[in-house]
Amino acid sequence: MRNVSKLTLAALVLAFGVTTLQAQTNSANITATATVQTPINVVGAQQLNFGNVFPGVNKSVAATDLTNGGRFDVTGQASAPVSVSFTLPATLASGANTMPIDTYTGVHADNAAQTGGVAFNPVSGASPTLSASGELFVWVGARAVPATNQAQGVYTASIIMTVVY
Amino acid sequence: MRGMIGLVVGAGLLAAPLAAQGRPLTTSGVRGLTFGAVLPGVPLVVTRTDPALSGQLDIRGPNRQQILLSFTLPLVMTGPAGAQLPLVFGSSDAGYSESQAIGSQIGFDPKQSFTATLANNGRGSVFIGGTANAAANQRAGAYTATLTLTVTVLP
């Protein structure tokens, strides 16, 4: 009888010992989730075209000029606000010859017809909102200032537009 | 009869440590860490005190028990076609609350183990925030990752 009791006691100790060990560590998971929106895509859709320029005669192209104004097309997340900024050249170049370009103007709209367009200063940038279909159209105008002795040639420069959320 | 007495005494000695041990340790995930809509190129931070977006795990165990909290944290969330979205945890992005109140946390680094004490009622909660760093060309879609909290009873 005494031996049986000791055995029972030992079994109890063993059983409780196992329970204690099992309860020492516990773990649980949670999930991290995110939904990434559509990345921004910018395309230079139309060049800013001054056409023929005569020495000593300034020539301006308005941002509202749908034919000659420069145009960028932007796509991204629908209805998302974005920040638009520019790197604007101060001169056009033809080989070693340069011609000043200044007085930049800008218009942005949520359609390619510029309906409801909003004027802005490209030097300062703009903070428009992409359309419900995730589109934005941006036009740029400027003034070419040829000198009276401006050398003949084709003058070009790059206008860079950066768009971020 | 002497054996019976021995058994009763033996059982009495066992009862004390069992009472001290109390209820078993359990850990449960209550709420996921939710970043919601993330714009490419724009880091999105969820704080551990955000009642809707922070992750939460609840712990139950013996009253006033000291425990060790250890996270297993992912470096990225995985999205469409295996695309990866970097996930960053700062040095105070996790918090522990004895009262299980999100407004009453002790911050800690989820990348390090942290010693905590369960409340008088044997409860405690862990909250966690983080930062999702979507690249400018991050592929659009849903991303997920698993965070694991391991709780160890300290002697």
Asked whether residue B63 is domain-assigned, the answer is yes
Q: For chains A and B, count residue pairs whose Cβ atoms are closer than 8 Å.
A: 161
Asked whether residue A17 is domain-assigned, the answer is no
For chain A, give the mean pLDDT. 89
**Rounded-to-integer distance, Cα A79 and Cα A95, Å:** 43
**Domain of B88, in residue numbers:** 22-153
Asked whether residue B29 is domain-assigned, the answer is yes
For residues B132, B134, B139, B145, the Cα torsion angle rounded to the nearest 10 degrees is -20
Alpha carbon of A65: minimum distance to chain B alpha carbons (Å): 32
Q: What type of residue is A103?
A: T
Asked whether residue B8 is domain-assigned, the answer is no
Is the distance from CB of A59 to CB of A122 less than 8 angstroms?
A: no
Asked whether residue B43 is domain-assigned, the answer is yes
Quick one: pLDDT band at residue B21, thresholds 50, 70, 90?
low
**Rounded-to-integer distance, Cα A75 and Cα A133, Å:** 8
Residues of B with CB below 8 A from A37's CB?
37-40, 140
Asked whether residue B138 is domain-assigned, the answer is yes
Residue-wise pLDDT tens digits, A41-83: 999 999 999 999 999 999 999 999 999 999 999 999 999 999 9
CATH value at residue B51: 2.60.40
Average pLDDT over residues B6-33: 61
If one compares A56 and A20, the residue with the highest pLDDT of the two is: A56
pLDDT of res. B55: 98
For chain B, give the mean pLDDT. 89
pLDDT of res. B69: 98
B2: three-class secondary structure by DSSP: helix
pTM of the predicted model as reported, rounded to 2 decimal places: 0.72
Q: What type of residue is A119?
A: A
A4 lies within 8 A of chain B by CB? yes
Q: How many domains does chain B have?
A: 1
Residue environment code for B28-48, b if the CB has 16+ CB neighbours within 10 A, otherwise e: ebebbbbbeebbbeeebebbb
CB within 8 Å of A155: residues ≥ 6 apart: A53, A92, A93, A94, A97, A98, A99, A144
Of A23, A27, A30, the CB nearest to B31: A30
Q: What type of residue is A51?
A: G
Residue-wise pLDDT tens digits, A101-113: 999 999 999 999 9
Residues of A with CB below 8 A from B55's CB?
30, 32
Residues of B with CB below 8 A from A27's CB?
27, 148-151
Host H or E run for residue A12: helix A2-22
Task: Check residue A114 and give left, alpha or beta (phi > 0: left; psi -120 to 50: alpha).
Answer: left
pLDDT of res. B59: 98
A80 lies within 8 A of chain B by CB? yes
Asked whether residue A13 is domain-assigned, the answer is no
Is the distance from CB of A101 to CB of A124 less than 8 angstroms?
A: no
Asked whether residue B28 is domain-assigned, the answer is yes
Which residues partner with B146 through β-bridges? Answer: A31
Question: For strand A59-61 and strand A135-144, is the pairing parallel, antiparallel, or unpaired?
Answer: antiparallel
Residues of B with CB below 8 A from A10's CB?
none
Q: Is the pLDDT of residue A84 over 50?
A: yes
Residue-wise pLDDT tens digits, A120-163: 999 999 999 999 999 999 999 999 999 999 999 999 999 999 99
Q: Which residue of B has its CA nearest to A16?
A: B18
Phi, psi of A43, rounded to the nearest 5 degrees: -125, 135
B150: three-class secondary structure by DSSP: strand
Host H or E run for residue A20: helix A2-22
Of A9, A38, A164, the CB nearest to B140: A38
Asked whether residue A19 is domain-assigned, the answer is no
Asked whether residue B42 is domain-assigned, the answer is yes
B54 lies within 8 A of chain A by CB? no
A136: three-class secondary structure by DSSP: strand
Asked whether residue B17 is domain-assigned, the answer is no
Alpha carbon of A43: minimum distance to chain B alpha carbons (Å): 15
pLDDT of res. B14: 38
CATH value at residue A102: 2.60.40
Q: Which residue of B has its CA nearest to A25?
A: B152
pLDDT of res. A16: 37
Residue-wise pLDDT tens digits, A25-46: 999 999 999 999 999 999 999 9
**Domain of A93, in residue numbers:** 41-164
Q: Which residue of A has its CA nearest to B146?
A: A31
Q: How many domains does chain A have?
A: 1
Residues of B with CB below 8 A from A36's CB?
38-40, 79, 85, 134, 138-143
Distances (CA, A) of B133 to A5, B16, B75, B129, B145: 65, 52, 11, 13, 14
**Rounded-to-integer distance, Cα B52 and Cα B33, Å:** 9
Is the distance from CB of A113 to CB of A22 less than 8 angstroms?
A: no
A21 lies within 8 A of chain B by CB? no
Asked whether residue A60 is domain-assigned, the answer is yes
